[in-house]
């Protein structure tokens, strides 16, 4: 079985934090999130002085929040020049938020965790999602399952990172269940409101709580609560919805 697993490989979802990251620090300070798509120039030998340019999507619940997020990113000591794109790059990228903006950002490659993950056998296959001060990586690992934890220990040591495994499957299985895919389409606020409502029994019969109580517990108006729930429910029932 070990040989079969090694040939097939393993897919993981990693919850990761590492120091000196403009995206982690910015999403800790303000609402919203970032999708990291690609790097468009390769670091040279001296990574202490060279810079790279990456393509990213910022997303948030509102225009005010996304403006605040972009401003915070631009002011980070770990970021360089930020160039916001007036039009979507290529065919565009789907993002969880109600509002999304694409941008190029220059930054120091020595702050990147991707090379460390690669050095230890983890190859990412989807855009990295950063929100709430954490990065979420979809990666593949070609080694034995028993080698995963030692490899993660190497990432923790070399990058000064905190890493936990959220999900692990064989390469032949679906990388992400449909329910999780739909949950990932929610904004952080929508997810928080929906999960709280679910935990309090709002979707049970008879209902375990009221919208008035939920609004008070979350310190929002009843109208705001219902708006977040409506948008969350719309996305969960129809993941192609952009509402």
| Same domain, residue pair 96 and 47 | yes
Q: Is the pLDDT of residue 180 over 90?
A: no
Q: Is the pLDDT of residue 174 over 70?
A: no
d(CA 98, CA 232): 11
Q: What is the pLDDT of residue 36?
A: 92
- Whether 242 is covered by a domain: the verdict is no
Instruction: Supply 159's token pair.
Output: 């990058």
Query: What is the extent of the structural domain holding 65?
Result: 2-170
| Same domain, residue pair 166 and 189 | no
Q: Is the pLDDT of residue 157 over 90?
A: yes
6 — pLDDT class (breaks 50, 70, 90): very low
Closest to 113 (Cα-Cα) out of 80, 53, 162: 162
Closest to 163 (Cα-Cα) out of 141, 193, 144: 141
pLDDT digits (tens, 9 = 90+) for 77-88: 999 999 998 765
- Whether 207 is covered by a domain: the verdict is yes
E-strand stretches of 18-62: 33-39, 52-60
Greater confidence (191 vs 64) lies with 64
| Same domain, residue pair 228 and 190 | yes
| Same domain, residue pair 11 and 111 | yes
Overall number of domains in the chain = 2
Q: What residues contact residue 114 under an 8 Å CB cut-off, 6+ apart?
A: 124
Mean pLDDT of 115-134: 91
Q: Average pLDDT of the chain?
A: 82
| Same domain, residue pair 156 and 189 | no
The pTM of the full predicted model, rounded to 2 decimals, is: 0.71
204 — pLDDT class (breaks 50, 70, 90): confident
Work out the number of other CB atoms within 10 angstroms of the CB of residue 134. Answer: 18
Dihedral pair phi/psi, residue 170, rounded to 5°: -75, 160
pLDDT digits (tens, 9 = 90+) for 43-76: 454 445 578 889 999 999 889 999 999 999 999 9
Q: Exposed, middle or buried by CB within 10 Å (0-12, 13-18, 19+), for 152?
A: buried
Q: Sign (positive/negative) of CA torsion 196, 70, 56, 141? A: negative
- Whether 16 is covered by a domain: the verdict is yes
52-60 and 128-131 strand pairing: unpaired
| Same domain, residue pair 86 and 162 | yes
Q: What is the pLDDT of residue 181?
A: 62
Q: Do residues 135 and 166 touch, judged by C-beta distance below 8 A?
A: no
| Same domain, residue pair 143 and 84 | yes
| Same domain, residue pair 75 and 56 | yes
């Amino acid at each position: 079985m070990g040989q079969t697993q090694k040939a097939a490989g393993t897919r993981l979802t990693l919850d990761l934090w590492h120091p000196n990251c403009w995206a982690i620090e910015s999403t800790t300070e303000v609402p919203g999130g970032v999708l990291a798509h690609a790097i468009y120039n390769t670091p040279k030998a001296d990574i202490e002085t060279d810079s790279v340019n990456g393509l990213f999507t910022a997303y948030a619940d509102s225009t005010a929040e996304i403006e605040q997020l972009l401003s915070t990113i631009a002011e980070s000591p770990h970021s360089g020049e930020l160039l916001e794109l007036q039009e979507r790059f290529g065919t565009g990228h789907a993002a969880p938020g109600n509002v999304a903006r694409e941008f190029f950002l220059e930054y120091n490659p020595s702050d990147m965790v991707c090379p460390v993950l690669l050095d230890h056998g983890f190859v990412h296959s989807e855009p990295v999602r950063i929100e709430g001060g954490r990065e979420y990586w979809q990666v593949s690992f070609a080694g034995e399952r028993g080698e995963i934890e030692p490899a993660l220990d190497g990432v923790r040591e070399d990058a000064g990172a905190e890493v936990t495994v959220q999900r692990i499957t064989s390469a032949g299985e679906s990388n992400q269940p449909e329910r999780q895919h739909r949950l990932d389409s929610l904004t952080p606020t929508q997810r928080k409101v929906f999960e709280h409502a679910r935990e309090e029994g709002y979707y049970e019969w008879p209902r375990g709580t009221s919208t008035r109580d939920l609004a008070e517990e979350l310190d929002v108006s009843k109208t705001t609560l219902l708006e977040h729930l409506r948008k969350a429910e719309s996305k969960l029932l129809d993941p192609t919805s952009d509402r």
